[in-house]
Structure 1
Amino acid sequence: MEEDHLSPRPAGVPWEQAGALFVAGTTAYAAVHAVKVERGETVVVSGAAGGVGSLVVQLARHAGATVIGLASEPHHAWLTRHGVIPLTYGEGVGERIRAAADGTIDAFIDTFGAPYIELALELGVPGERINTIIDFPGAAKHGTKAEGSAAAARAEVLRELASLIADGELEIPVARVYPLDEVRDAFRELERRHTNGKIVLRP
């Protein structure tokens, strides 16, 4: 491996959190930068308490945006602690978003999948300010963005994210740590899609 592809782990960053940066962290970073989040804007994030979504909402808040996060009710307290306006997904979510935004919705980041691209368009968000990390057919159909980890898989991005963790400005919630021989249980939990943060395998 080339030396410039490596990034040091700050002493204050646990291995479990550092290990999540290369995929979840870089994906979240790419998604926020894809929609060009700016201070004072309003951004909606679907899957806001998941492994990537939980980082997206924090990075968007760090950029100075008002963030509306869609998640199940058990995760609303975590989102509130991080300055996010939590909303429950499901029937009527569009009206709940409009009421919470109380004005223009500038960008939408989808970390869950269909039907959120269509919802974002219905809410009046321009296609170039919608990014999905999972609904690639929807992005191709509607001409929205679909940037993920590959767009930010650079050592300098990892250093920036690790510094935010070390400075207490970014939290990587770890839902559960599994030993490697329990990998099947880890995947079963992952498939339920109700975890707050990352599921970690420890070799």
Structure 2
Amino acid sequence: MPWEQAGALFIAGTTAYAAVHAVRAGRGETVVVSGAAGGVGSLVVQLARHTGATVIGLASEPHHAWLTRQGAIPLTYGEGVGERIRAAADGSIDAFIDTFGAPYIELALELGVPSERVNTIIDFAGAAKHGTKADGCAEAASADVLRELGTLIADGDLEIPIACVYRLDEVRDAFRELERRHTNGKIVLRP
């Protein structure tokens, strides 16, 4: 795989892997993913789909086509998102993976998702307050997980989208892009 993808695989890939396993996503279930087009969220969507789950991905409108190509149901976040999720789910919502931050833990609980099936990779205060999970890279950082992710990539079952590549001396530009929080995939710095 290209170096940019390989470099993004360890943290983003293992974090996504841990998040999907934390909520025990499975065939026939419905999983909602916030930040679904971002660096980790884009991998969560694909890994959850790989389990056979139906994935509802929250992202801005420009990323809906990419989510649809991944087999996810794209929804725009913001006011009324709870009602849009309920309508898209057409039944119960089994799990919720938050890759964006507040207020998604509270939303997941309002939607009836059991706290043990909610995982955040960013809202640690919310996880502590509500008793949800906060599994990430540390729970999946192993050679076995990297091998499994690498196999999925080699088999064409996992794509690591690269939003932008910056030279190391362009690090400020990279952080400006990151602060926008509207990328599809990873932002990579190349030494």
Q: Same fold (TM over 0.5)?
A: yes
- Corresponding position: 1:193 with 2:190: no
- Corresponding position: 1:182 with 2:189: no
Determine the structure 1 residue equivalent to 2:137.
149
What is the CA distance between 1:66 and its match in structure 2?
0.2
What is the CA distance between 1:77 and its match in structure 2?
0.3
Distance 1:154 1:74 in 2: 34
Percent identity over paired residues: 88
User: Which of residues 95, 105, 113 in structure 1 aligns to 2:83?
Assistant: 95
Determine the structure 2 residue equivalent to 1:38.
26
Distance 1:183 1:161 in 2: 28
- Corresponding position: 1:15 with 2:3: yes
Q: Please give the secondary structure, in 2, of the residue aligned with 1:78.
A: helix
Radius of gyration: which is bigger? 1
- Corresponding position: 1:27 with 2:1: no
- Corresponding position: 1:65 with 2:53: yes
- 1:161-190 deviation per Cα after TM superposition (whole angstroms, max 9, x unaligned): 111111111000000111111111111101
**Which consecutive unaligned segments of at least 5 residues does structure 2 have?**
none
Count of residues in Structure 1 that have an aligned counterpart in Structure 2: 191
Runs of 4+ in structure 1 over 3 Å off: none
Which amino acid in 2 is paired with 1:142? H
Which amino acid in 1 is paired with 2:95? A
Q: Please give the secondary structure, in 2, of the residue aligned with 1:20.
A: helix
Distance 1:189 1:117 in 2: 26
TM-score (norm 2): 0.99
- 1:25-58 deviation per Cα after TM superposition (whole angstroms, max 9, x unaligned): 0000000000001111000000000000000000
- Root mean square deviation, CA, Å: 0.5
**Which consecutive unaligned segments of at least 5 residues does structure 1 have?**
1-12
